[in-house]
Amino acid sequence: RSFIRVLGGATLISIAGGIGAFVYVTQKERHPGSQLPYDTSKKTIVILGSGWGATSLLKTIDTEEYNVVVISPKNYFLFTPLLPSVAVGTLSPKAILQPTRYIARHKARAVTVIEAEAKEVDPFNKTVTFEDETEIKGKVSHTTIPYDYLVYAVGAEVQTFGIPGVQEKACFMKELNDAEVMQRRFKDCIESAAFPGQDDAEIDRLLHIVVVGGGPTGIEVSGEIHDFLEDDLKAWYPELAGRIRISLVEALPSVLPMFSKQLIEYTESTFKESKIDIWTKTMVKEVKDKSVILQMPDKSIKEVPCGMVVWAGGNKGRKITQDLMGKFPTLQTNKRGLTVDDHLRLAGADSIFAIGDCTSTSYAPTAQVASQQGAYLARVFAQMAKKEGLEAKLSELQKTETVAVDTTEKTGVQSEIENTKKMIANVKIRPFHYSHQGSLAYVGSDKAIADLPFANGNIATAGVATFLFWRSAYLSTLFSLRNRTLVANDWLITKIFGRDLSRD
């Protein structure tokens, strides 16, 4: 009995300890302590963007060495891999957002966070002009600031290829607002189909969801819509759920060209079981109010009625990026994005680094690449600060040498000069090296696919275990304890109570 009592006591102590540690960690997150003020004697780094590249840099950079200013139209970081889960209500929007000020508050020196959209970069005068684009504006809503270094990390926007109707009539899956719009429209389609007296053809039209693009975004969105249908809609709309159709349209001969062949086949067979139609070699030519116009593999044109189109047709450069390229017409000629060297310096410009989806490199435009580039730049800035510090010390020593009077003093200073020169020579800024950690995608029905690097090769895995790995990988990649808690909580709530059906 005493053993049980000791065990019980130990358990209670460890639970209390666990709660104490949790409270301490969360309190520390909320009250991170004081920061050093902005220092005009230090160089200023202006970071454009608050996405994967910018946030990874902000998390890693040593702000003791620089003043840091972040400018972004969104005052938060969006965890894009879980965005399709928000679109069907598996997760709440807040779970995958991290306010940029939370990250900035944990730095040693105060970081300036400005919610504004950069409108122009002047690489010759080293300035950025930005504007408050929100509904409420103060007396000042447009200004220009100088930078010593600029980190250009504005990402990309959705590529529509100028196809008629896409911009105005389709839903996208890039920003948080896109997921919210899609969720609202999808629920609207179902409620309109349930309207009394709706005829059969109209019900079938409203319940036909067309997803365009067989890249990972299109695949994950289709999988998530299917889960919503199976897990919730079948119970709440039994007379309609069986009539919901999901069609995935892809212009290329296969979906997910970046994954291994067996994973493509696995995805196709999972979609077949889930009754998601895949139309490859089929190109969307127009999006209309109630239909899509398709060019079929035999080049014939077909009009397909549908209630909603989700467009996941890839990336293109933002206008500000195209304008910046236009300032270096002979060097910035790659239509896919900004050309950078192997140290991520913008070709043709002085003191500008560009990272992530706005660049055109040999890497895919992924979060993995952008975040590694952000962390790399933090190391580059640390090395640059170290070098500048040593150079300043060298110049001081050289001044001392010229005024030194006795030989012993002169010899001492000379040896220190030699040492400092060696230290400067040892400060190496290596080129960016990308380390691929694997590709993962959710395909619906609690199944995921993964191409993981192993030794010098690759392991392809798929199924429910891979889905659990997918979940744990993204849970651990989330930037904060707050987000991890919210996401884990939402997964649990969805499992127990299902997804919310209300349409706001």
* Sequence-ordered list of residues with C-beta below 8 angstroms from that of 174, at least 6 positions apart, any chain: 80, 83, 157, 158
Going by the DSSP 8-state scheme, the letter that residue 356 receives in this structure is: G
CA–CA–CA angle 458, 461, 464 (5° rounding) = 160
With contacts defined by CB under 6 A, name the span among 48-56, 114-122, 364-372, 415-423 that binds ligand NAI. Answer: 364-372
Q: Which residue number, 215 or 337, has a Cβ lying nearer to ligand NAI?
A: 215
State the chain's maximal CA–CA distance in angstroms. 105
Q: Which residue number, 80 or 90, has a Cβ lying nearer to ligand FAD?
A: 80
Q: Does 365 bind ligand NAI (CB under 6 A)?
A: yes
Q: Which residue number, 88 or 413, has a Cβ lying nearer to ligand FAD?
A: 88
* Tokens of residue 176, six digits: 């948080």
Strand 301-305, strand 208-212: pairing: unpaired
With contacts defined by CB under 6 A, name the span among 52-60, 386-394, 403-411, 491-499 that binds ligand FAD. Answer: 52-60
Q: How many CA atoms lie within 13 A of 177 on its CB side?
A: 2
Considering only residues 109 to 138 of the shown chain, the ones binding ligand FAD according to CB under 6 A are: 117-118
Least Å distance, CB 98 to ligand NAI, is 19
Among 315, 445, 466, 483, binds ligand NAI (CB under 6 A): 315
Q: How many CA atoms lie within 13 A of 26 on its CB side?
A: 10
Among 153, 244, 292, 443, binds ligand FAD (CB under 6 A): 153
Considering only residues 441 to 500 of the shown chain, the ones binding ligand FAD according to CB under 6 A are: none
Q: Which residue number, 15 or 258, has a Cβ lying nearer to ligand NAI?
A: 258
Q: Does 154 bind ligand FAD (CB under 6 A)?
A: yes
> What is the distance in angstroms between the CA of the first residue and the CA of the last residue of the chain?
57
Q: Which residue has the tokens 């047709």?
A: 313
150 — phi, psi (to 5°)? -120, 130
Q: Does 252 bind ligand NAI (CB under 6 A)?
A: yes
* Sequence-ordered list of residues with C-beta below 8 angstroms from that of 94, at least 6 positions apart, any chain: 486
Least Å distance, CB 249 to ligand NAI, is 5
CA–CA–CA angle 390, 54, 88 (5° rounding) = 160
Q: Which residue number, 284 or 450, has a Cβ lying nearer to ligand FAD?
A: 450
Among 332, 359, 439, 461, binds ligand NAI (CB under 6 A): 439
With contacts defined by CB under 6 A, name the span among 98-106, 210-218, 482-490, 491-499 that binds ligand NAI. Answer: 210-218
Q: Does 178 bind ligand NAI (CB under 6 A)?
A: no
Cα separation of 201 and 307, whole Å? Answer: 11
The CA-atom distances, in angstroms, between 402 and each of 261, 388, 414, 415 are 70, 22, 10, 14
Contact 84, 106 (CB under 8 A): no
Q: Does 366 bind ligand NAI (CB under 6 A)?
A: yes
Considering only residues 60 to 119 of the shown chain, the ones binding ligand NAI according to CB under 6 A are: 81
* Number of Cβ within a 10 Å radius of residue 348: 17
Measure CA 69 to chain center: 20
Among 81, 89, 123, 218, binds ligand FAD (CB under 6 A): 81
Least Å distance, CB 256 to ligand FAD, is 12
Cα separation of 55 and 155, whole Å? Answer: 12
Which spans of this chain sit near ligand FAD (rule: CB under 6 A)?
Answer: 48-54, 71-74, 80-81, 83-84, 117-118, 153-155, 173-174, 217, 318, 320, 356-358, 365-368, 370
Which spans of this chain sit near ligand NAI (rule: CB under 6 A)?
Answer: 81, 161, 163, 212-218, 220, 249-252, 258, 283-284, 312-315, 364-366, 439-441
